[in-house]
Amino acid sequence: MLSRVAENLFWIGRYIERAENVARVVDAARRMSSLPNETGRGLTNEWSSILVVAGARETFGPAYERADAGAAVDHLLFSENNPSSVARCIHAARENAREVRFAITRECWEILNTAWSEMRRLTPLDATGAGLSDVIDWIKAQSALFRGALIGTMLRDDGYSFMRMGGSVERFDYTARMIDVKYHVLLPSLTDIGAHTDHYQWLSLLQASAGYRAYVHVTKSEITARGVGEFLILEKSFPRSLLYNTRRIAEHLRNLSSFYGRDAACGGLVDGYIRELESKSIDDIFDQGLHEFLTDAIDRNYQIANALANSYGFGSFESVATPDGSPATDAVQ
């Protein structure tokens, strides 16, 4: 497969996953903004925090700290000035697919083309009030439809692996960012850890990650910072955990190695990070510092993405800041 085709397919997977994840972080902010405040001090603005976690602080502008729901939702879902907005991601996925129509199935193309057409008809007014939940559900449904078509109709060849790897790289990044924005940005004080507000924020994070029922089933315990952190970082069976997605990247690299008859140079980097994650307990992570661990995880995922690009002839990626402003992950193609 030509490197340009592989790159298009990789980015289709990333863009569709990113569109869904942006919708999920908006959903997390929507849930958290409705939580009761028992401290009397007021929480950090959930909407400005979500702009940070989505890497949209710079594109939103200096007024991001005072962002309200309407402005943040408009920027994250619809803005043409934000390269990571849902509208831009769906458009970019469709454009990448259009360039490689021969490499994807008719079902995959039609879902992307229909999603792009319907997204163009949506306006910020559609995402106000109760309509916001409907728009979020629609975005998640488009991602699920595409994923179903991808799994159900694509040959298990190199093209399939490139798209699935792109989705896993993107999902890892957003899971890490969502945990980090909860712990490092939203919580105003260490004295709030364990309070009702803290509990409801972790619950909202699980719900926005589609992980609440899975968490209850796996842990059979109450919601705690350590419990949710362990689940979203180290749970091998949860499809949005960091460990799960790193394993999937390694799996598809093995498939590509088998398909091409040679190992990718980046395989050792991925396998080494899997061993590192598997050796850690949640106590190790909290002893290191949850924010410090997540910042490192986001950077490691960025390194893996660049190693994939170098191994298969993609262009290199640009970094986007983490919640504390340090370089982290790659921007859109």
Cα–Cα distance for residue pair 211/203, rounded to 1 Å? 9
Cα–Cα distance for residue pair 333/315, rounded to 1 Å? 8
Cα–Cα distance for residue pair 186/190, rounded to 1 Å? 11
Residue whose entry in the numeric block shows the structure tokens 């004295």: 191
Q: How many domains does the chain have?
A: 1
Residue whose entry in the numeric block shows the structure tokens 């792009």: 116
- pLDDT one-digit tens code per residue, 275-328: 999 999 999 999 999 989 999 999 999 999 999 999 998 865 554 444 444 334
Cβ-contact 256, 161 below 8 angstroms:
yes
Backbone angles phi, psi at 8, to 5 degrees: -60, -45
Domain that holds residue 132: 3-330
Cβ-contact 305, 64 below 8 angstroms:
no
Whole-prediction pTM value?
0.89
Burial of 68 (0-12, 13-18, 19+ CB in 10 A): exposed
Q: On the CB side of 60, how many CA atoms lie within 13 Å of its CA? A: 30
Q: What is the mean pLDDT of residues 253-279?
A: 94
Percentage of the chain lying above the pLDDT 70 cut? 86
The amino acid present at 127, given as its one-letter code, is A
- pLDDT one-digit tens code per residue, 142-188: 999 999 999 999 999 999 999 999 999 999 999 999 898 776 555 55
